[in-house]
Structure 1
Amino acid sequence: MMWWGSDTNGWRRRMTAEWVPTSHGEPISVREFDALPVDTSHRYEIENGLLLVNARPAPKHSRALSRTVEQLNAQLPEGWEAFAEVEAEFSGRSPRRVPDIVVIPVEAAEQTRIRSDQIALAIEVATSGQSAVRDYIVKSREYAANNIACYWVIDLLDVDGDEVGLTIYTLEEPGKYTYGPRLSGTVVVSEPFPLKLDLNAIVGQRSVRR
């Protein structure tokens, strides 16, 4: 893995192809995956045709998800809603994914799983080097291949004391993302909707109002 600075907002994260992680599970079909018993203690996905099993998020990760969802839902236009950890149906070698956060039409929440073409925004939260590699490289390729227009990676890696960071990927042409510099602080965007995200507010202990 390589790190170097390349813009005035700090550093931009780059990773070499050698660091692409591989799944360690057994090959599994979509039919077999969908027939698995419910297990709320782990998160199951199909990655590159293999069963990927991860532990449930740690409190730091869960806090970032819930606070990000809260900020988004306070601003999204009518008919759209942000959800955490919803199973999604993709095309390709990873047909079952569970993005950390998705913004989808409210009616899609009634489905057993959402489709990639219903996702206006997908967000992953990286809290470790391994998850960062998967989010920045593997999932960015998959999400682009499924034509998800907007993809964000929020990182909580705390590299050299840096603040929480956000990298925004935009689908400039079918199947291919471009991405900008790592952002920090309060970020204002126009796509997929006009939104403002206070990155520093998604970490740290909850303040108690008296």
Structure 2
Amino acid sequence: MTELPGWMRPPRPEGWLAEDLDNLPDAPRHTELIDGALVFMMSPQRRRHSSIVFSLRTDLTRQAPEGAVVDSEMTVRLDKYNRPEPDVIVSTASIAGDATWYEAKDIILAVEVVSPESVHRDRTVKPHKYAEAGIRHFWRVETEDGDASTAIHVYELDDLTRTYVPIGIFRDTLKVDLPFPIELDVQSLYG
């Protein structure tokens, strides 16, 4: 048995910290930190997933107000033990060119496109963490009917309970006023 790479061993008993994520030589590309544990995707990204992410990023960029930044493949620092990587984010602040993460306080929308290997994290773990961190809007993109159609589940943060409440499930046209006016043809996201 070959020895495990050094980046697979937490440097302290309580696990990894958010700042450790930037110092992991040879770690897989999409490495996230959830509760002090590294989570990485070793399987190749599916075409449907990457197409939806690209389309969302393009459509949101086109509709975003001045000063809003739409990004993907970046982590969000929720706290010292959590730096997940939403599939798409909208931030009110830009970051330096060599930065690797956004601050949760600046994120106005986090989007997760559910894949077979991320179902539990995208439906349960990440929304809970995003809500606790105060991210006001969360979308979960799911495939339905055996991958024949797409649905976007839209949520807004309830300040009292610090949890997300459902706004709606959109299968044809998504039209919302918050976090800014957005209109999307849901079924055209994958094409």
TM-score tier (shorter):
0.7 to 0.9
Question: Is the contact made by 2:110 and 2:135 (CA closer than 8 Å) also made in structure 1?
Answer: yes
Aligned length: 176
Which position in structure 1 is the counterpart of 2:4? none
Counterpart of 2:136 (choices 131, 140, 149) is 149
Secondary structure of 1:107's counterpart equals coil
Unaligned runs of 5+ in 1: 1-24, 205-210
Question: Over residues 42-70 of structure 1, what are the superposed CA-to-partner deviations in whole Å (9 max), with x where a residue is unaligned?
Answer: 31011122111113522221111111111
Which position in structure 1 is the counterpart of 2:101? 113
Question: Is the contact made by 2:93 and 2:106 (CA closer than 8 Å) also made in structure 1?
Answer: no
Q: Percent identity?
A: 26
Counterpart of 1:166 (choices 152, 155, 167) is 152
CA distance in 2, matches of 1:176, 1:141: 7
Which position in structure 2 is the counterpart of 1:32? 20
Unaligned runs of 5+ in 2: 1-7
Question: Is the contact made by 2:22 and 2:100 (CA closer than 8 Å) also made in structure 1?
Answer: no
**TM-score, normalized by length of structure 1?**
0.75
Which position in structure 1 is the counterpart of 2:114? 126
Which position in structure 2 is the counterpart of 1:57? 45
Following superposition, the deviation at residue 96 of structure 1 comes to 1.4
CA distance in 1, matches of 2:121, 2:150: 18
Instruction: Give the letter for the 2:153 counterpart.
Output: T
Question: Over residues 122-149 of structure 1, what are the superposed CA-to-partner deviations in whole Å (9 max), with x where a residue is unaligned?
Answer: 0000132x42221111111000000000
Which position in structure 2 is the counterpart of 1:75? 63
Instruction: Give the letter for the 1:90 counterpart.
Output: L
* Runs (4+) off by over 2 Å: 25-28, 31-34, 55-59, 105-112, 158-163
Which position in structure 1 is the counterpart of 2:3? none
